[in-house]
Structure 1
Amino acid sequence: MTTENVDPLAGVRAPGDPPCDVYLTGTVFLDIIFTGLDSAPVRGTESWARGMGSSPGGVANMATALARLGLRTSLAAAFGDDHYGEYCWETLERGEGIDLSRSRTVPGWHSPVTVSLAYDGERTMISHGHEAPVSAASPEPPRARSCVASLSPGQPQEWIGAAARAGSLVLADTGWDDTGRWDLAALPDLEHCAAFLPNATEAMRYTRADSPRAAAHALTRTVPLAVVTMGADGAYAVDGGTGETAEVPAIVVEALDTTGAGDVFVAGFLTGTLAGWPLADRLALAGLTAALSVQEFGGSLSAPGWGEIAAWWQRVRQLTPESGPLGQALERYAFLRDVLPEDPRPWPRRRAVPTLGFRTPT
C-alpha cells in the first residue's frame, strides 16, 4: 500500500454499500490567491505579492479535501462555460477524481471569482458573481454514505432532508449570519443533521453561551453531535447521546493562508467518522489536516492527502523525543500507525497546478 491509495474506509466497506461516500452541492468559484503580502493594501497605492496561485474554490475546497482523504466524492455544482469554468471542471474531475456526473455547465453564465489576499495569517477576500440560472442541487440526492451541507439562515434546502431519510449521515457547518439574529430556528435543516460543526464565534452567538465549550453542550439540545472549532485553541466536541466529550489542542504551525481550513477540518472529521474512529481520534485527524492545509496557499490546493499526513507523521516521530510532554502529545496521533504505510515519500508535492495552466508545447 502507498499513500496514493490509502482507503480509510477499507475496514467498513461491504457489498451493497452506496456508490459514493459523500455527496455535496454548492457554488464553485475560481479562486485567485495572493500571498507574501507584508500588510493589507493601502488605499491609493499598489501592493506587490511575492506569491500567487489559482484554484477551484467555494464548495470545491470541501470536495477536494474529501477526495484527497480517499473518500469517493460526488459534487453537484453549476459551472460557467467560460475558460474559468472549464479549468475548474478539469481540475476537479481529472485532477482530483471527483464525480461530477450530477454537475452541469451553464451556457452564457460566467464563473464566480474570488480574489484572496493572505497576510499576517489572515485573509481578505473580494468576490464577484451572479446566481446560476439553474440549480445544481437535486431534491433527490444520490445514494451516499454521507452528505456535507452548508446551512444559511432562512434558506432551507430540500435535498438535506431527502438525503437523511435515504440513510445518509448528514454533517453541517454554517457561515456568518448577516441578519444578525443568530436564531437556531432559522436553520430548520439541523433536525436532519447528525453533527453540526460551527466555529467558536458562531456557536456562542447561536447559543448565547459565554464559552465555546458551553456552546457545544448547548448545541446538543438541537443536534446529536456538536463540534466547535476554536482556532489556535483546538476543537471541542460533545456527543449528546452518550455524554462523551473530547478536546484536542491545535498543532502550532506558521500559517501562510487560512483559506479553506474549516472545510479541511470538516473533511478530516467526516473521514474518521465514517471509518468508525473514536471521537478524540476524529478531532485529532481534523485538526491535523487543517494545520497542514494552512501551510500552503489556496483552499483546494492546500488540502492535504494521505501523502502529506504520512510525511508529517514520519517527520515528527524522527524529531520528537518519546518521553516528556512532546512525546505525550505525539501519542495523541498514534492511531495513524494503523492507517498509514511505513514508507511514505517525504513531503509529496501537491497534485493540482497552482495556475490556470501552461500551454502544451507543440
Structure 2
Amino acid sequence: MTDPRTTTAPLLFAGDVYCDLVMAGIDLPQPGTEVYADSFTITPGGVANRAVAAARVGAPTRLLSRLGDDPLGRHVHALLDAETALDTSWLEHVPGHQSPVTVALTGAHDRSFLTYQERLGHLELPEDHGPVAATHVGVGSEVPPWVARLRAEGTTVVGGVGWDPTGEWSSDVLHRLGQVDVLVANDVEAMRYTRTDDPVAAARALTPYVALAVVTRGPAGVVAAGDEAPGGIVEVPAPRVAVVDPTGAGDVFAATFMAAAAYGWDLATRLRFAALCASVSVTGFGGAASAPTLGELPAHAARLAPDDDWSFLPRTAPAPLSA
C-alpha cells in the first residue's frame, strides 16, 4: 500500500449546483400518458457531483457555488454540509433566487433530463483563497480569469468539454485547452471535437493541445495520451458492473482522478482508482448520492474485480494542509 502524503492542499470545484430529482426504472412517457418509476431520490447535482466524489475519497475539497434560499436549495445545502472533507463555506444563498432543478428520467437503456435554471452572473474566487492543489473548469465556453491566476500559483487545472447542443463541435474549444493541464472527456465528446472515429485516436489527436488527455469509454474503460503516458498511451479497463444509473459517472471519474494525485501514484494507477470509483457510482442512483467513500473501496474492488491487485488502495486519506 502506498502511503499518502502528510498534507495536501484542497481541491476546488466551482460552478452550478443543481437539485437532482432522479426517477429510475422507467421508459419516457408518451404525450398524454403517465408512467411510474421504480425508485426515486433527491441528490445534489451539477458541480456537486464532483465535489462530493472527491470529498468522499478523502480529498480536502472546497465548493464555490450559489443556491437560492428556496426549500430545495436549503435541502441540498444540508446534504452537502453532511459530507466529511467538503468545505461549503463558499456556497452562497441568493435571496429570491430559485435553485436549479433537474429531473433525471433513467431507464434500462437511456436517460433524459428536464432542467429549470435561472442564470446568475459569473462566480468570483475569494481573494483569500489560499493554496489550491487542483481545480476543474469547463472549457466549452470562456474560462474564468481567476483560473489563470490559480494556474500561475501552481494549481493543476483539469478541464472538461461537455456536450455541444449546437452540434458544431467548434475547434475554438480545442484551442482553449492550452489554458488547462489535463483534459478529461468522454469518448463521444473527444471523437467529435477531434473528428476521429476511435477513442484512442481521439486521445492522440488531443495531445497537441493539452499535456494529458484522458478519454473515458464507459464499460470499455479509459485511455490516456500525453506526456505522462509511457509510450504515449495508457489504457485501463473498467470493472464490470450492472448499471443502475449512469448519471454523474463522468463527474465521479474526473473528481477521483484529481483526488488520486495526492498519493503520488503513476498515471495508470490513478486511472484505475478513478475507474473503480466511477464503476461503483453507476450501481446506485444519482452522481453525488452514489459516489463511494474511501473506506468502502477495498470491499467494492474485491467484489467487482477480485482477480486484480488492489493492494494500492489507501486506508486513510491525506491530511488537509491546515492540519
Per the normalisation by structure 2, the TM-score is 0.90
- Distance in 2 of aligned mates of 1:110 and 1:215: 39
Q: 1:47 to 1:96 in 2, by over 3 A?
A: farther
Helix, strand or coil for the counterpart of 1:221?
A: coil
Indicate if the aligned counterparts of 1:257 and 1:296 stay in contact, CA closer than 8 A: yes
- Corresponding residue of 1:13: 6
AA aligned to 1:215 is: A
Per-residue deviation at 1:107? 0.6
Alignment match of 2:68 (pick from 80, 90, 105):
80
Instruction: Identify the range of structure 1 (240-249 vs 264-273) with the bigger mean alpha-carbon deviation.
Output: 240-249
Q: Choose between structure 1 and 2 for higher RCO, CA contacts under 8 A separated by at least 6 residues.
A: 2
Q: Does 1:169 align with 2:162?
A: no
Query: Which residue is equivalent to 2:263?
Result: 275
For residue 335 of structure 1, what is the aligned residue in structure 2? 312
Where does structure 2 lack aligned partners over 5 or more consecutive residues?
Answer: 317-323
CA distance in 1, matches of 2:181, 2:198: 22
Counterpart contact for 1:121–1:256, Cα < 8 Å: no
Residue in structure 2 matched with residue 206 of structure 1 by the alignment: 193
For the residue of structure 1 that corresponds to 2:122, the secondary structure is: coil
Distance in 1 of aligned mates of 2:169 and 2:197:
15
Q: Would you say the 8 A contact 2:58–2:85 is kept in 1?
A: no
Counterparts of residues 74-153 of structure 1 (less than 5 Å): 74-132=62-120, 134-138=121-125, 142-153=130-141
Over alpha carbons, which structure has the higher Rg? 1
Structure 1 alignment gaps of length 5 or more? 1-7, 321-326, 342-362
Question: How far off its partner does 1:80 sit?
Answer: 0.3
Aligned residue identity for 1:291 = S
Q: Residue 310 in 1 paired to residue 298 in 2? A: yes
Alignment-mate amino acid for residue 218 of structure 1: A
- CA-CA distance at 1:284 after TM superposition: 0.9
2:19 to 22, 27, 30: 30
Give the drift of 1:308. 2.5
* CA pair 99-197 structure 1, distance change in 2 beyond 3 A: same
Could you tell me which residue of structure 2 aligns to residue 253 of structure 1? 241
Aligned-residue CA RMSD (Å) = 2.2
Deviations 1:227-253 (A, max 9, x none): 001122111011236644211112221
**1:43-86 CA-partner distances (Å, limit 9, x unpaired):** 21110112111011111111100100101111110110111111
User: CA separation of 1:268/1:11 partners in 2, compared to 1, >3 Å: closer, same or farther?
Assistant: same
Q: Aligned in 2, Cα 1:129/1:238: closer, same or farther, shift over 3 Å?
A: same
Are residues 13 and 307 of structure 1, via their aligned partners in 2, closer, same or farther at CA, if it must alter by over 3 Å? Answer: closer
Moved >4 Å (runs of 4+):
139-142
**Using the alignment, how far apart are the partners of 2:125 and 2:132 within structure 1?**
14
Q: Judge conservation of contact 1:212–1:228 (CA < 8 Å) in 2.
A: yes
- Residues 141-191 of structure 1 show CA distances to partners (whole Å, capped at 9, x for unaligned) of 5421111112223x2321221111111011111211233332343355422
Q: Tell me the equivalent position of 2:143.
A: 156
Contact residue 23 and residue 148 of structure 1 kept, 8 A: yes
Pairs within 5 Å for 1:339-354:
339-340=314-315
Distance 1:22-1:262 versus aligned 2 partners, 3 A rule: same
The corresponding residue for 2:319 is: none
Alpha-carbon distance in structure 2 between the residues aligned to 1:334 and 1:244: 26
Mark the CA change 1:56 to 1:223 in structure 2 (over 3 Å): closer, same or farther.
Answer: same
CA distance in 2, matches of 1:199, 1:139: 31
Q: CA, structure 1 residues 57+9, in 2 after alignment: closer, same or farther (shift >3 Å)?
A: farther
8 A Cα contact 2:174 2:193, kept in partner: no
Please state whether the residue corresponding to 2:133 is helix, strand or coil: strand
Q: Which residue of 1 aligns with 2:172?
A: 185
TM-score (normalizing by structure 1): 0.81
Mapped to 1, the partners of 2:269 and 2:16 lie a distance apart of 31
Is 1:56–1:88's contact at 8 Å kept on the other side of the alignment?
yes
1:45 aligns with one of 33, 50, 64: 33
Per-residue CA deviation, residues 98-153 of structure 1 (Å, 9 max, x unaligned), is 21222211011011100001111431110001102x43332755421111112223
